[in-house]
Amino acid sequence: MDAQFWDDRYRSQEQLFSGNPNGVLVTEVADLPPGHALDVGCGEGADALWLARRGWQVTAVDISRVALERAGAGPDVADRVAWTCADLTTTPPPAGPFDLVSAQYYPLARRPDHATLRGLLDVVAPGGTLLVVGYDLADLTPGHEPGVDFRDFYQPADIADLLGDDWIVLVDETRPRTAAAPAATPHTHDTVLRVQRRR
């Protein structure tokens, strides 16, 4: 799932996703006071724009230049979103601290040293929130994505198991999706992790 993979995926359709913010993001973040947010794997930008329109200052990162070309913010929030093309498996995340780090269905490959994951944890501000949402693997049939085994990626519960005493687990659960999945991702449940950094 490198840059070429994602560029090709986005080029395959005029619009790959709905253009609406992810339902879990809306549910979990709506009541948070706006601050600085990092949108990991921002895609075509719906989450970043939703956050910006609620007063957040957003750094939106994606590996695909094609996705980012589609994601340009309207004039109402152009000064509230910084679009960044980067592969976070090889490049450190933008410098924090961030009051919110959101990773919605972001395919973060497992690593023995957990370096990429720890990089994301490190940029969460004291008192800040990490929100990770993934597919419920029980919904995905073998061969769903040819050449991809979703068990090779961190699941929200895996991340919860790696957290130390500096974190408070607020949500760690599987729940029904709030909206129908895109045709290419036929899953009916989300796995959700929301944690807060103590210090």
pLDDT digits (tens, 9 = 90+) for 77-109: 889 999 999 999 899 999 889 999 999 988 888
Collapsing DSSP states into helix, strand and coil, what is residue 130? Answer: strand
Give the domains, in start order, of the chain with CATH numbers.
3-10+34-197 (3.40.50.150)
**Residue 108, class by beta-carbon neighbours within 10 Å (0-12 exposed, 13-18 middle, 19+ buried)?**
buried
88 and 119 Cβ atoms separated by less than 8 Å: yes
Question: Are 120 and 103 within 8 A, CB to CB?
Answer: yes
pLDDT, residue 136, reads 80
* Contact between residue 121 and residue 130 where contact means Cβ atoms under 8 Å apart: yes
> Shortest CA distance to 131 belongs to which of 191, 49, 64?
191
Q: Which of 40-54, 59-73, 136-150 has the highest mean pLDDT?
A: 40-54
**Does residue 181 have a pLDDT over 70?**
no
Q: Which residue carries 């957003």 as its tokens? A: 58
Mean pLDDT over residues 66-84, rounded? Answer: 83
pLDDT band at 13 (very low <50, low <70, confident <90, very high): low
CA–CA dist 36, 169 (Å, integer) = 21
* pLDDT for res 151: 76
Query: What's the CA gap between 34 and 61, in Å, rounded?
Result: 19
Average pLDDT, the chain: 85
Tokens of 6: 């994602």
